[in-house]
A and B are shown apart, each in its own frame.
Chain A
């Protein structure tokens, strides 16, 4: 019987290693300097890269973080400081609901609300859709980290004459900051890989764009459109893009993991 559980454990850990190995095998050869700096080329021409897609991912993460981080941290502060109240319970519950929503539904909402009225796709719409997915994660991480700060710290500051707002922001928040940064990184790792919310908001773009008001490409969108295309050159670029994306997500996740572990010393499984 123990053997069965061991088999289950082996079967569960295999896919990750297998996919990682496959991506390296198929994608590493296309990871040239060109890949990171060139624009997509038309079919039939060799070379070409995903520079615009990578820039797009960076921009979308920046927009999403600019909205998602303040809102998430603010909401987390509220939840931590008003723990027992009914409003806090409702907000926490609804935050979990928001977290579990399919990303495509967030995408069609963003389309209906941000794209349809102005009749054009934009990086801003994509960034806001991603922010909506980021907020619950950051809120929860912030709330938990702030709750971990011992109340004696807060009380000492108050005893020394600090106003409450200053205690919360400069003492408590600063103490919890590493954990909050970790939570933010986990949220970034999650939205970096999202495609569905971007399909009808950022839409994708063949060309280099840094404008907030125009459609923009992103790594997941580019991988998707190359993967379903019938061209071999584009397939190998898709593998390379997937390798870059997975590496990005894994590195961020690893950094986040190790940061919390060393800080608090408790086992995260």
Chain B
């Protein structure tokens, strides 16, 4: 409905239009307010530490020295690893649902996968503490380290303590799976039939059609879905806090505990001792905010591009 000039509009119309406009403007205002408040609160710490805030590993509340590098490292590693695990599964599910599943199976399975996104984070965390971490400690970590002899590599070294980067990555993988799967399903269905039929007409098998004609067409949309999952993984707090072990240290081993930006804030905020500590935590929040916004924008743009491509 195009907007039109309301010449001689009644009072009711003017009030209505004003009200809806004000409500709509609340959203950008809220975002701007949020960014300003976080930036203002983060400023003291950023001014005190400049660039070393992002590069230093020393987080000492007693001495008043704060470096967020371990948290940034942990966020990146756990999120990337979660994506590495989740993306093949999510794409596999999406292909199954859009190409191979019989119609009666499509809805229930899609529904079950999408419901994974509805499970509250703290419930995942509860499962993580009492099921995942003990299972990792008792079975998976010894298996990886001893049976597969991966313990000799730096990535699986160290004691099988339990709470670890590996635990966090696994939980994150389950949590981002529904997002990647849902977007991939959408973009796969947006691929025009002509594309599929052309491949089949040229003699491709079903699988060759998917691999050669459908997936490449949808590829930027799938990347968008993956970025969306990345955005979710970066900001995930509760489940990660409960299984990552909370240690300010950069370690190459997946068995060692670590920290993410979100879990750092959740853990230390209520016990922050002084204003500088609080400001440092807000600065971590500011970094997280910035990174998440950029990733989300990139994701939306990619998905939009595929949908536009499919229509033309």
In chain A, residues 136-177, which have Cβ atoms closer than 8 Å to a Cβ of chain B? 136, 139, 151, 154, 163-166, 168-169
User: Does A75 lie within 8 Å of B237, measured CB to CB?
Assistant: no
* B33: chain A residues within 8 A (beta carbon): 109, 113
Mind listing 30 A-B residue pairs with CB under 8 Å?
Answer: A8-B91, A9-B92, A9-B97, A9-B113, A12-B177, A75-B27, A79-B24, A82-B3, A97-B31, A101-B289, A102-B236, A104-B235, A105-B235, A105-B288, A108-B41, A108-B282, A111-B269, A135-B27, A139-B27, A163-B12, A164-B13, A166-B12, A194-B120, A199-B269, A227-B130, A227-B242, A242-B122, A245-B123, A246-B123, A269-B114
| Nearest opposing residue in chain A for B89, CB measure | A8
Q: Are B126 and A239 in contact (CB under 8 A)?
A: yes
Given contacts A5-B99, A91-B28, A203-B270, list 13 more A-B pairs with CB under 8 A.
A2-B207, A5-B93, A5-B96, A11-B89, A12-B112, A12-B181, A19-B124, A22-B131, A91-B24, A102-B236, A104-B285, A132-B30, A164-B13
Among B160-207, those with CB < 8 Å from A are 174, 177, 181, 185, 206-207
Closest A residue to B292 by beta carbon equals A102
The stretch among B56-64, B150-158, B293-301 that forms the contact with chain A is B293-301
Nearest chain B residue, comparing its CB with the CB of A220: B122
Interface residues on A, range: 35 or more
Whole-angstrom CA separation of A267 from B98 in the bound complex: 13
CB distance from B254 to the nearest CB of A (A): 20
B127 to A: closest C-beta gap in Å: 5
Residues of B within 8 A of A28 (CB): none
Closest to A131 in B: B30
What are the residues of chain B within 8 A of A75 when measuring CB–CB?
Answer: 20, 23-24, 26-27
- Which B residues lie within 8 Å of A235 (CB)? 130
Q: How far is the CA of A80 from the CA of B207 in the complex (A)?
A: 41
- CA distance in complex: A9, B86 (Å): 12
B10 is an interface residue with CB less than 8 A from chain A: yes
Q: A242 CA to B129 CA in the complex, in Å?
A: 13
Q: Mark B96-139, 1 if CB is under 8 A from A, else 0.
A: 11011100001101111111101111111111011100000000
Q: Which residue of A lies closest to B301 (CB)?
A: A93
- A163 adjacent to B13 (CB under 8 Å): yes
| A118 on the B face (CB < 8 A) | no
Partner of A6, one of B90, B96, B232: B96
Whether B123 lies near A223 (C-beta < 8 A) is yes
4 tightest A-B contacts by CB?
A102-B235, A193-B120, A8-B92, A74-B23
Interface status of B148 (Cβ within 8 A of chain A): no
**Which of A15, A79, A98, A103 has the most CB atoms of chain B within a 10 A radius of its CB?**
A15
Write the chain A residue with the least CB distance to B20. A78
Segment at the B interface, from A32-40, A42-50, A249-257: A249-257
Determine if B27 and A109 form an interchain contact, defined as CB atoms under 8 angstroms apart. Answer: no
In this complex, what residue of B is CB-closest to A267? B107
From 135 to 149 in chain B, residues with beta carbon under 8 angstroms from any chain A beta carbon are: none
Provide the residues of chain B in CB contact with A104, threshold 8 Å: 235, 237, 262, 265-266, 285, 288
Please tell me if A24 contacts chain B, counting CB pairs below 8 Å.
no
- Bound: A194/B92 CA distance, A: 29
Q: When the two chains form their complex, are residues B109 and A9 in contact, meaning their CB atoms are under 8 A apart?
A: yes
Known contacts A74-B20, A97-B31: A246-B120 contact under CB 8 Å: yes
- Rounded to whole angstroms, the CA-CA distance of A91 and B181 in the bound complex is 27
Q: Contact check, A98 vs B30: say whether CB atoms are below 8 A apart.
A: yes
How long is the Cα–Cα vector from A79 to B25 in the complex, in angstroms?
A: 11
Which A residues contact B (CB, under 8 angstroms)? 1-2, 4-9, 11-13, 15-17, 19, 22-23, 26, 70-75, 77-85, 87-88, 90-91, 93-98, 100-106, 108-109, 111-113, 132, 135-136, 139, 151, 154, 163-166, 168-169, 189-190, 192-196, 199-200, 203, 220, 223-224, 227-228, 235, 238-239, 242, 245-246, 249-250, 253, 257, 267, 269
Indicate if the CB atoms of B111 and A257 lie closer than 8 Å: yes
Name A199's closest neighbour in chain B (CB-CB).
B266
Taking the closest CB of chain B, its distance from the CB of A248, in whole angstroms, is 9
Which residues of chain A come closer than 8 Å to B270, judged between CB atoms? 199-200, 203
Q: How far is the CB of A262 from chain B (nearest CB, A)?
A: 13
Smallest CB separation, B101 vs chain A (Å) = 8
Known: A5-B95, A9-B97, A96-B300. A224 touches B23 (CB 8 A): no
Knowing A75-B26, A102-B235, A102-B236, the reply to whether A8 touches B3 (Cβ < 8 A) is: no
Contact call A85/B127, Cβ cutoff below 8 A: no
- Contact between chains at B122 and A193 (CB < 8 Å): yes
Q: Does B238 contact A (CB under 8 A)?
A: yes
Q: Are A165 and B281 in contact (CB under 8 A)?
A: no
Instruction: Say yes or no: is B216 at the interface (Cβ < 8 Å to chain A).
Output: no
CB neighbours of B289 from chain A (8 A): 101-102, 105
Cα distance A268–B174 when bound, in Å?
Answer: 22
CA distance A90 to B40 in the complex (A): 25
Most B CB atoms within 10 A — which of A82, A85, A228, A269?
Answer: A269
Assess whether A74 is in contact with B120, with CB atoms less than 8 Å apart.
no
Q: How far is the CA of A139 from the CA of B6 in the complex (A)?
A: 24
CB neighbours (8 Å) of A78 from chain B are: 20-21, 23-24
Contacts of A80 in B (CB 8 A): 1
Is there contact, CB below 8 Å, between B123 and A84?
Answer: no
Kindly list chain A residues whose C-beta atoms are within 8 Å of the C-beta of B297: 97
- In the assembled complex, which residues on chain A have CB atoms less than 8 Å from the CB atom of B281? 108
